[in-house]
């Protein structure tokens, strides 16, 4: 190699490394769910450590143990990590029931989605959840066992978060439906709201994709807010 070629070689590779580090940080892939104000970046930690240390390793790159709170997210994890680990691997995800048998995500949401193994039965003093790589089914586990770990971090969808400012996950406003639209993605539901002068909030059901345009808000009518596990509620930012 002459000096110029060498310089180019170094520059190209330095740039490639630099861009990669800058853009993708630790993301193996980015999950863009059909609903919500966030995308999610996922990556695997392939060393063995207990859940506390796993969670610290995720935090080092700005994440938490992974958010897997929908069938859509579970399918993304299966697709992304199939073929990447050795048979028999097990990894922590961000689901815990620290107090009772009520589960929470590491981002503080109530956990509504589960993918338990058939052999699962809740054990009172086992508070962590791991995925068995061979089947991608979940099991409860003692938090002190050394396992691999799946991390994720949220990426705010700026264009949506400047339109909606308050979100209630797993809840819906009832009694103020101005219009109900079937089978809409979250983005289309958001546009439908923007086009409707009466729209002050929406409910979006991620399973059925039903979009409800509401003429009122949960803040004005808190007693009309109902639990609806597959739905998220969004107030229009005014
Ligand atoms: C995990 O291990 C660390 C030491 O590496 C220890 O401080 C921590 O208490 C352990 N956590 C659990 C849940 O066992
Ligand atoms: C919902 O819409 C998608 C395309 O946006 C379409 O492929 C699908 O068949 C529709 N489902 C129903 C139940 O209408």
- Secondary structure in 3-state letters for 12-81: HHHHHHHHHHHHHCCCCEEECCCCCCEEEEEEEEEEEECHHHHHHHHHHCCCEECCCCCHHHHHHHHHHH
The pLDDT, as a whole number, for residue 20 is 36
Ligand number nearest to the C-alpha of 54: 1
Q: Which ligand is nearest to the CA of 183?
A: 2
- Name the residue at shortest CA distance from atom 3 of ligand 1: 53
pTM assigned to the model: 0.69
Ligand 1 binding pocket includes 208 (Cβ within 6 Å): no
Measured from the Cα of 142, ligand 1's closest atom is: 13
Q: How far is the CA of 110 from the centre of ligand 1 (A)?
A: 25
Cα–Cα distance for residue pair 50/15, rounded to 1 Å: 36
CA 58 – CA 148 distance, rounded (Å): 11
User: How many angstroms does the Cα of residue 209 sit away from the middle of ligand 1?
Assistant: 42
Which ligand is nearest the CA of 182, by number?
2
**Which atom of ligand 1 has the smallest separation from the CA of 143?**
13
Higher model confidence: residue 123 or residue 64?
A: 64
Nearest Cα residue to atom 9 of ligand 1: 52
Whether 43 has a pLDDT exceeding 70, the answer reads yes
Ligand 1 atom index nearest CA of 50: 1
pLDDT, position 121: 67
Mean pLDDT for the stretch of residues 68-82? 94
Ligand nearest, relative to CA of residue 211: 2
Residue having the nearest C-alpha atom to atom 12 of ligand 1:
144
Structural domains of the chain ordered from first start: 3-155 (3.10.100.10), 163-236 (3.50.4.10)
Q: What's the whole-number mean pLDDT along residues 88-97? A: 94
**Ligand 1: does its nearest atom lie under 6 Å from the Cβ of 51?**
yes
Write out the H or E segment, with its range, that includes residue 11. Answer: helix 3-24
Confidence grade of residue 4 (pLDDT, cut at 50, 70, 90): very low
Tell me the pLDDT band of 11, cut-offs 50, 70 and 90: very low
127 lines ligand 1 (CB under 6 A): no
The reply to whether ligand 1 has any atom less than 6 angstroms from the CB of 143 is yes
pLDDT at residue 171, rounded to an integer: 94
CA–CA gap between residue 194 and residue 237 (Å, rounded)? 11
CA 49 to centroid of ligand 1, rounded, Å: 8
Residue partners of 13: CB distance under 8 A and separation at least 6: none
Please write the tens of the pLDDT for every residue from 119-141: 766 677 788 999 999 999 999 99
pLDDT digits (tens, 9 = 90+) for 180-193: 999 998 888 998 99
**What span, in angstroms and rounded, lies between the C-alpha atoms of 44 and 63?**
11
Q: What is the mean pLDDT of the chain?
A: 85
Q: Exposed, middle or buried: residue 216 (CB in 10 Å: 0-12, 13-18, 19+)?
A: middle
């Amino acid at each position: 190699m002459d000096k110029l070629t060498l310089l180019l070689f170094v520059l190209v590779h330095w740039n490639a490394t630099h861009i990669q580090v800058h853009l993708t940080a630790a993301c193996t892939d980015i999950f863009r769910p059909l609903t919500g104000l966030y995308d999610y970046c996922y990556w695997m930690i392939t060393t063995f450590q207990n859940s506390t240390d796993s969670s610290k390793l995720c935090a080092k790159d700005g994440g938490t143990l992974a958010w897997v709170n929908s069938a859509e997210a579970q399918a993304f994890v299966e697709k992304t990590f199939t073929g990447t680990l050795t048979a028999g691997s097990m990894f922590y995800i961000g689901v815990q029931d620290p107090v009772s048998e009520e589960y929470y995500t590491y981002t503080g949401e109530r956990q509504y989605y589960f993918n338990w193994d058939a052999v699962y039965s809740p054990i009172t003093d086992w508070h962590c959840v791991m995925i068995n790589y061979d089947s991608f089914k979940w099991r409860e586990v003692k938090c002190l066992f050394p396992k691999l770990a799946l991390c994720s971090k949220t990426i705010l969808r700026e264009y949506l978060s400047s339109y909606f400012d308050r979100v209630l996950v797993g809840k819906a406003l009832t009694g103020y439906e101005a219009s109900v639209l079937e089978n809409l993605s979250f983005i289309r539901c958001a546009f439908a709201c923007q086009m409707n002068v009466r729209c002050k909030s929406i409910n979006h059901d991620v399973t059925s994709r039903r979009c409800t345009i509401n003429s009122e808000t949960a803040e004005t009518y808190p007693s009309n807010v109902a639990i609806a596990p597959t739905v998220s509620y969004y107030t229009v930012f005014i």
